[in-house]
Each structure stands twice: as C-alpha cells, then as structure tokens.
Structure 1
C-alpha cells in the first residue's frame, strides 16, 4: 500500500533529527513529506521529500480551503489542523492510497509491519493519537472533519486561538469522537511506545480499546533501534517491538560521531548512545526526584482547565 506521512515543522529542527531520518530511511514502503523553514543540509533519504515553506505560507495554504478566517497564529496550534492535511494537501498526495500525519519526536521501527494488516483490510483510519495517525486517501474520508457533533463543528475549532486537541481528544469534538459517533472504521490496536513526558525515566502510557490509558509502573526501560526495528528492553530481559517510539518533550544529547554509517543506537532518557553494553544499561536506575517538565506540564494542565471553565461560564 503506497503511504505518505505529512510532518510540518517550523523553527530549527531538533539536534537528534539525523537519527529520525535514519529511522525513516529503513522504511522503504513509506514516504514522508517534511514541510519546514529550516534550510540546513541533512542526509535526507530518498523516501523523505522536503518542501521548504515559511509558516505564514503554510497557513495561507490552509486558509485557501476555507471561506472564513482561520485562527493559526503559532505552529503550536497546528495540532488542531493535523487531521485536515490530506484535504488541504490533496494535490501533493494524489498517488498515495493512505496518508497520515506524524510528529518529529519519533524514532520509527518497522512501521509497515504494524500497519499492513489494517491497510489490507481497507480500514479508513489507523491510529488515534496526534503523533501518528493514518487515513485512507479518499475524498469523502478526507472531508469527514467537517461532520458536526453535538452542536459543534470544525469551524469552532479553526476560529479560536485555544488548543482544542482536534487531532486526538477522546471526549470533545475531534476526529476520534467523530469516528466513534458516526460508526466509521478505526484501527485501535496500539502500534507505538508512547513515553510519558511527566517522568525522567521511560514510563509508557498503556491504552485500551476504549481510549482510556494508564501509566505503567517504573522499570529500567531503554529503547534500541537497529537496522530498521525498534524495541524496548527492561531489567528482567523482557523485549517488546514497536512500530515507533514517541519521546515527547525531552532534551536528548547526541554523540559527537555521526550516525551515517551506524546501524544501531540506544535511547536513554536523556541521550542517544552509539556504543553500549545492554546488560550494564539494564542495571542503571534512571530516576530524578525533581523533574522540571513534570511541574511545567501540571501547571499547563491547570491553566487549560481554568481557561475552559471560564469559557463555559
């Protein structure tokens, strides 16, 4: 199945970006479209197409598709627009059977292995989180974001500065709730390792069929990428392979030597390591009593709830 993932990113690409590209390179059956204003030279593989564009140009590209004025002042608000990339970029993705959106803070394993089954079944939507979701590339499917739900519709999302999490909300108006309400096909089996940003050590969110999730107990988990596969290992030797690992909101140090000719690396909570001993790694306990991102996210969540409460009143 021909597949393309769309990833707009404005500003300086992260220091670990070459490692992301290396993980893309091994996914021969998947293509990427990166839209960015960072014109530095990187080792882009053949399956990654780069479109250089300023943020205002991308905003104008979206605006051309709507008669009302959209609200899109900062790139952060793009999370609400992810589900419409297939609609606004239809001229860029005509030859693909599936399109999707993804984040830059992901290392990809054998992604096709995890999405091949639902694609063969012709499932309309694969996934339900903003860091990677796929849609069948068909006009009626690409326009489902327009469907109303409980007296609201996409215009309510695209005319406010507030982040409404249209790409992945499980309760408010979103592509997930639209698909659930109208009974559209959606593949819910997790194919990813979603690392919590609240803790320094690697703790995964575990999801079920009803979109609810819980945070796993502490482990000495590390991630290994090798020749196009990514998996985690923990202290008792347990291994688990994933389609990709999402390591949001982390500062990652990288080695001085380049990744170009390397075929494997290890991801610690704070760095990428090219040379390592896995037995020694699994004995290290990565802990921090005070982890600043935890408090930042908690404060942000409180502000969000207060803002929503004021708007409701």
Structure 2
C-alpha cells in the first residue's frame, strides 16, 4: 500500500524544515506533496514533491468546486478545507491506496506506528487531527466532507462561508461525520492510543495536548535515523511524529549530516549528550515549567480572539 499526503503551505517555512524533509525520507511508503510559494534550495528526497504555486491558485481551484462563494482570505483558513483535499488533488492522488493531509511544523518518526498495515486495511480514516489524517482512497471518503455532521459541528457550507477558522478538519466538522456516519474510523484520542506528541501552544515546555502519559510533565525528544523517541520525566517511548504547533525553534542546518538530534522546548541540536543529561534537563523543566508560560498563553488567546476562533467556540456551546 502507498499513501499520498498533501500540505498546502504559504508563508515562511519553519526553521527546521530541512529536518522535516530528512524525516520524511525515512518513510518511503509515504509520498509527500507540498504546495507552496517558498523557494529552496533544499535537499528534497525522492518521496517529497514541492510544487510551486500561489495562495490565489489554490483559492481559485477550491472555488471552482462549488456553486457558492467560498470565504478564503488567509492561508491559515486552508485548515478548514483539508477534508476536501482528496477531491481537490484527485488527479495527483488517484494512484494511491490512501490519501491524507499533514502539517510541516512536524518532525516525523516511524509513521507505521501511526498507521499500521492492519489499520490501513481496516479503517476508512486513521487519525483525528489536522496535523495528520489518512483516508482510504474511495469515492465515499473523498466526498465524506459533504455529509451532515451530527452534534455541535459545522456543515461544510457553514465552514467554507466564513473566514473564521472553524476546525472543520477536526472536532467541529469531519470528526463528527466519521464518528457518527457509516464509516470505520480510528480515533486515536478516544481509544487512548495516541502515538504522536502534539505540543501545546499554551505552554513553553513541550507539554502534550493529548494525554498519553505525559500531559502534566515536560518532555524532550531524540531523533536518530528515522526513529523518534520521547523522553519523559518518568518513562520514554518511541512515537510516530512530533507536532510543534508553529513553535519557534533554533535549528542549525549544518547539523543535518549527523542524522541524530536532540529536541527540547526551543531548539534542535546535534545529539552530543548522555541520557542522564536529558533526564537532568527534564527534571529542571518540570520544576520550573510555569515560568515561561505567560508569554505562550497570552499569544495563544490573543491569536484565537483576533481570528474569531473564541467566538466560534461560544457559538458551538449554545448550538443544539
């Protein structure tokens, strides 16, 4: 089986984008298509395609699919349109057994931990988050976004008719369609089987949004030749990927040759430390982690208030 994943990203890439490319290289069963206005040079592996285009090109391509006016004024709003990528990029994805969407503010480990062969055979959809979701390449899944979501959610027309982020790619749209419709769906959060680390934008240390044993404690990570390991205060585990949620990271490109990195809350460096040093670093973060949170909390709530996202949350709370 072969999986084709799509990301449309406009604006400056994260500083660690070269590490994303290197980590993608170690997942040969996945092909990654990145539509962007960024220009290299980069060391692009064979399973990654970078397609040069403008935001206006994608907007026009989306508008051509509908007989009503879509509201798409900023690149961030593209998150709501991810569930239609199977239709939007159908020509590119037609030869794959599965298609999906992903984010580039990630460092990938072994993605088979996220989607095993058994999972790929069994489920229509794997994953409940916009930073990585995988679908069987069928007509039913390509047009699933048009189904009516049950519960406190938006229909695709509601989500596509406002420029306010509606999280249609996640809990306020496509998740409820798959959860309540005629689909087989692996929701890793509901199953308490999260195999990735989604770093909270509300905290300075690397604290997980989804609780899988590390939510209350900071973590560090090591990446070595395609293997990503999460080092917690009390235990460690191999994970499928790390989502850094637009976090600013210090990263030095000359380190790429080592294929061995240590990742903490603010930097990605060549791994030259002992495991005991990592544990000491974690204990220090655990002791002092509230100190750096004020800036991250203020940034998070200011951003979501200005975008209208907090207002959308209030509307959904009163929606029947």
TM-score normalised by L of structure 2: 0.87
- Residues 138 and 241 of structure 1: is their aligned pair in 2 closer, same or farther, counting only changes over 3 Å? same
**Per-residue CA shift, 1:133-156, capped at 9, x if unaligned?**
001111121101111235963111
Aligned-pair distance for 1:300?
4.1
Partner of 2:191: none
- Residues 307 and 217 of structure 1: is their aligned pair in 2 closer, same or farther, counting only changes over 3 Å? closer
Question: What pairs with 1:235-246 in structure 2 (closer than 5 Å)?
Answer: 235-236=233-234, 238-246=235-243
Q: 2-side partners of 1:41 and 1:240: how far apart?
A: 34
Does the 8 A contact of 1:111 with 1:244 survive in 2?
yes
Three-state SS of the structure 1 residue aligned to 2:276 is helix
Aligned-pair distance for 1:61?
1.3
Q: 1-side partners of 2:112 and 2:88: how far apart?
A: 25
Three-state SS of the structure 1 residue aligned to 2:250 is coil
- Residues 102 and 153 of structure 1: is their aligned pair in 2 closer, same or farther, counting only changes over 3 Å? same
Three-state SS of the structure 2 residue aligned to 1:206 is coil
Three-state SS of the structure 1 residue aligned to 2:183 is coil
Partner of 1:111: 111
Partner of 2:259: 263
Partner of 1:304: 309
Does the 8 A contact of 2:166 with 2:312 survive in 1?
no
Higher helix share: 2
Q: 1-side partners of 2:174 and 2:313: how far apart?
A: 20
Gaps in structure 2 of 5+ consecutive residues: 189-193
Aligned-pair distance for 1:310?
7.4
Three-state SS of the structure 2 residue aligned to 1:272 is strand
Aligned-pair distance for 1:64?
1.4
Question: What pairs with 1:164-203 in structure 2 (closer than 5 Å)?
Answer: 164-169=166-171, 172=172, 174-189=173-188, 190-203=194-207
Question: What pairs with 1:56-205 in structure 2 (closer than 5 Å)?
Answer: 56-149=56-149, 153-169=155-171, 172=172, 174-189=173-188, 190-205=194-209
- Does 150-159 or 47-56 show the bigger shift? 150-159
Q: 1-side partners of 2:202 and 2:315: how far apart?
A: 26
Aligned-pair distance for 1:201?
1.2
CA RMSD across the alignment:
2.3
Question: What pairs with 1:219-238 in structure 2 (closer than 5 Å)?
Answer: 219=218, 221-236=219-234, 238=235
Gaps in structure 1 of 5+ consecutive residues: 209-213
Partner of 1:211: none
Does the 8 A contact of 1:30 with 1:112 survive in 2?
no
Partner of 1:280: 277
- Residues 149 and 113 of structure 1: is their aligned pair in 2 closer, same or farther, counting only changes over 3 Å? closer
- Residues 5 and 200 of structure 1: is their aligned pair in 2 closer, same or farther, counting only changes over 3 Å? same
Does the 8 A contact of 2:227 with 2:238 survive in 1?
yes
Aligned-pair distance for 1:263?
1.7
- Residues 139 and 258 of structure 1: is their aligned pair in 2 closer, same or farther, counting only changes over 3 Å? same
- Residues 305 and 215 of structure 1: is their aligned pair in 2 closer, same or farther, counting only changes over 3 Å? farther
Q: 1-side partners of 2:52 and 2:169: how far apart?
A: 24
Q: 2-side partners of 1:156 and 1:306: how far apart?
A: 15
Q: 1-side partners of 2:21 and 2:178: how far apart?
A: 32
Aligned-pair distance for 1:188?
1.9
Q: 2-side partners of 1:27 and 1:62: how far apart?
A: 29
- Does 179-188 or 281-290 show the bigger shift? 281-290
- Does 4-13 or 108-117 show the bigger shift? 108-117
